[in-house]
């Protein structure tokens, strides 16, 4: 029985799908004007894990993760680059897919682009206007009248009064209330034709929040099971989505809201605005992507996750232990769910996606295997697979490394050195054998003698 923490109720709840055996899930994805950073990596990996676990649990999942391809920052960036919006967004969508693929993130069932759903957004805005929740402001933007929507602030635990008290928003440009947000931005003369769509309120483009409501409704229906995203989207983005969808449809929008914690650097949120972010591809130059995935899943999805080289190094060593246990064994990869470790694994995952405990089970399996119980090899591999881990050849993982690109030593060179050392050992020239080993060690290559020969791996 799966329980998950629902941001809306602020407690763990038993997950009951709307339709037996099926789950409909929407996750807020990327705004594509730059490379993804580690924070994006976390959202993608976390909800990939969620989708995998739901499927492993026998549910048919429809997973939607949107792409925001129209927005102020995109327009600005395209202008700076003197390139069409579409060229810019296409480029970064490709880059995003490269990053996601590297991290073992499976493609969602749908990746809708906002610009493909403008008519649906306009329909929804029209409905909101009809319901008395949207109005055309003096500056010709169409705005959502937040005060007319009862229950605004329920998700984020904010009251309209408190928001006003701490208000730091610019003086309203035509808004009736500073809290009101834009549904439809009227077109400006200096904007490219590419970002102008006709509408009954005049030419313009969608506000940010409306796209998710419209696309989720179109692809999953007006009410669905799970909606996820980064913690920072809880307010105002998700609060506004609720106001839009419930305001338009007159019934609840989402049953379970999930928010993943931030990635931090030096105990500060990693973000574009703070400038302390690392892009995924930057990190992947120095760390194996599976190490990054492991690093993310080793922490609970709702906890903050501190990034540092030391922590990634630690994660690499830990993952190496798992792969080392798998080395020299072939095992079928089907989970036997009646086996005790698998039961613990399931219990951990069913408790709000407790990947840290699930990973712990993996280490216990590795220990059992190292003690000689090779019947558990298949379990380790198969449970690893549930998390999207441990599917490579152990040797391939162990011989790849942080320095793989620049230590300049090819496998052939290393093998040749090993052969030379074996010869030296045979001749009882241990000084020479040790010299060769130390030399390789200085290049980050660790040798391991075994009855069946000498193996090597990268430290």
Task: Find the binding residues for RNA in span 90-129 (CB under 7 A).
Answer: none
- Candidates 109, 203, 434, 444: give the one binding RNA (CB under 7 A): 434
Binding mask 126-155 for RNA (x = CB under 7 A): ------------------------------
Give how far Cα 124 sits from Cα of 13, 184, 243, 394, Å. Answer: 31, 11, 12, 52
Is the Cβ of residue 130 or residue 317 nearer to RNA in the bound state?
317
Interacting residues with RNA between 74 and 93 (CB under 7 A): none
Quote the CA–CA distance of 248 and 130 in Å, as a whole number. Answer: 9
Is the Cβ of residue 67 or residue 118 nearer to RNA in the bound state?
67
Q: Is residue 400 within the footprint of RNA (CB under 7 A)? A: no
Give how far Cα 162 sits from Cα of 147, 235, 344, Å. Answer: 13, 13, 44
Only segment of 111-119, 125-133, 218-226, 270-278 that touches RNA (CB under 7 A): 270-278
Q: Is residue 299 within the footprint of RNA (CB under 7 A)? A: yes
Is the Cβ of residue 116 or residue 232 nearer to RNA in the bound state?
232
Q: Is residue 12 within the footprint of RNA (CB under 7 A)? A: no
Cβ(217)–Cβ(33) under 8 Å? Answer: no
Only segment of 81-89, 144-152, 269-277, 387-395 that touches RNA (CB under 7 A): 269-277
Name beta bridge partners: 12. Answer: 5
Is the Cβ of residue 17 or residue 31 nearer to RNA in the bound state?
31
Residues 6+ apart with CB under 8 A from 226: 4, 23, 24, 25, 26, 50, 254, 255, 256, 257, 258
Cβ(144)–Cβ(181) under 8 Å? Answer: yes
3-class DSSP state for residue 259? Answer: strand
Least distance between RNA and beta carbon 159 (Å): 7
Quote the CA–CA distance of 435 and 69 in Å, as a whole number. Answer: 57
- Candidates 3, 91, 110, 158: give the one binding RNA (CB under 7 A): 158
Binding mask 182-221 for RNA (x = CB under 7 A): --------------------------x-------------
Interacting residues with RNA between 222 and 251 (CB under 7 A): 229-237
Is the Cβ of residue 13 or residue 306 nearer to RNA in the bound state?
306
Q: Is residue 353 within the footprint of RNA (CB under 7 A)? A: no
Please, where are the H alpha helices in 20-147?
Answer: 38-56, 72-81, 85-102, 118-130
State the Cα angle at 22 between 336 and 219, rounded to 5°: 135
Cβ neighbours around 441 below 10 Å, total? 13
Q: Is residue 303 within the footprint of RNA (CB under 7 A)? A: yes
Interacting residues with RNA between 29 and 68 (CB under 7 A): 29-31, 37, 39-40, 42-43, 68
Cβ(410)–Cβ(418) under 8 Å? Answer: no
Quote the CA–CA distance of 459 and 455 in Å, as a whole number. Answer: 13
Is the Cβ of residue 52 or residue 238 nearer to RNA in the bound state?
238
């Amino acid at each position: 029985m799966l329980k998950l923490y629902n941001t809306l109720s602020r407690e763990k709840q038993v997950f009951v799908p709307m339709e037996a055996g099926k789950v409909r899930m929407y996750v807020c994805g990327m705004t594509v004007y730059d490379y993804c950073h580690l924070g994006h990596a976390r959202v993608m990996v976390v909800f990939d894990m969620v989708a995998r676990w739901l499927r492993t649990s026998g549910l048919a999942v429809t997973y939607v993760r949107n792409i925001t391809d129209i927005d102020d920052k995109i327009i600005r960036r395209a202008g700076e680059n003197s390139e069409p919006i579409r060229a810019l967004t296409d480029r970064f969508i490709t880059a995003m897919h490269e990053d996601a693929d590297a991290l073992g993130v499976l493609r969602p069932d749908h990746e809708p682009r906002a610009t493909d759903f403008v008519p649906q957004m306009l329909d929804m805005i029209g409905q909101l206007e009809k319901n008395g929740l949207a109005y055309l402001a003096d500056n010709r933007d169409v705005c959502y009248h937040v005060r007319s929507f009862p229950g605004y602030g329920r998700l984020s635990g904010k009251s309209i009064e408190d928001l006003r008290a701490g208000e730091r928003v610019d003086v309203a440009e035509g808004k009736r209330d500073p809290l009101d947000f834009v549904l439809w931005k009227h077109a400006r003369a200096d904007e490219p034709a590419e970002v102008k769509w006709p509408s009954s309120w005049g030419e313009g483009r969608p506000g940010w929040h409306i796209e998710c409501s419209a696309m989720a409704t179109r692809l999953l229906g007006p009410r669905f099971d799970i909606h996820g995203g980064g913690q920072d989207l809880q307010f105002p983005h998700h609060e506004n989505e609720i106001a839009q969808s419930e305001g338009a449809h007159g019934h609840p929008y989402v049953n379970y809201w999930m928010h993943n914690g931030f990635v931090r650097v030096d105990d500060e949120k990693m973000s574009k605005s703070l400038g302390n972010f690392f892009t995924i591809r930057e990190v992947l130059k120095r760390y194996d992507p599976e190490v990054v995935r492991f690093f993310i899943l080793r922490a609970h999805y709702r906890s903050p996750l501190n990034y540092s080289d030391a922590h990634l190094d630690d994660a690499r060593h830990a993952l190496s232990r798992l792969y080392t246990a798998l080395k020299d064994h072939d095992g079928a990869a089907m989970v036997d769910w009646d086996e005790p470790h698998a039961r613990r694994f399931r219990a951990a995952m069913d408790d709000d996606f407790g990947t840290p405990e699930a990973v712990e089970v993996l280490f216990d399996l590795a220990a059992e295997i190292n003690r000689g119980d090779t019947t558990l090899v298949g379990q380790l591999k198969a449970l690893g697979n549930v998390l999207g881990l441990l599917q490579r050849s152990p040797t391939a993982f162990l011989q790849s490394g942080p320095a793989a690109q620049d230590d300049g030593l090819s496998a052939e060179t290393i093998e040749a050195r090993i052969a030379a050392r074996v010869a030296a050992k045979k001749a009882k020239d241990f000084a020479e054998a040790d010299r060769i080993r130390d030399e390789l060690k200085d290049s980050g290559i660790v040798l391991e003698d075994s009855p069946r020969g000498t193996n090597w791996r990268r430290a």
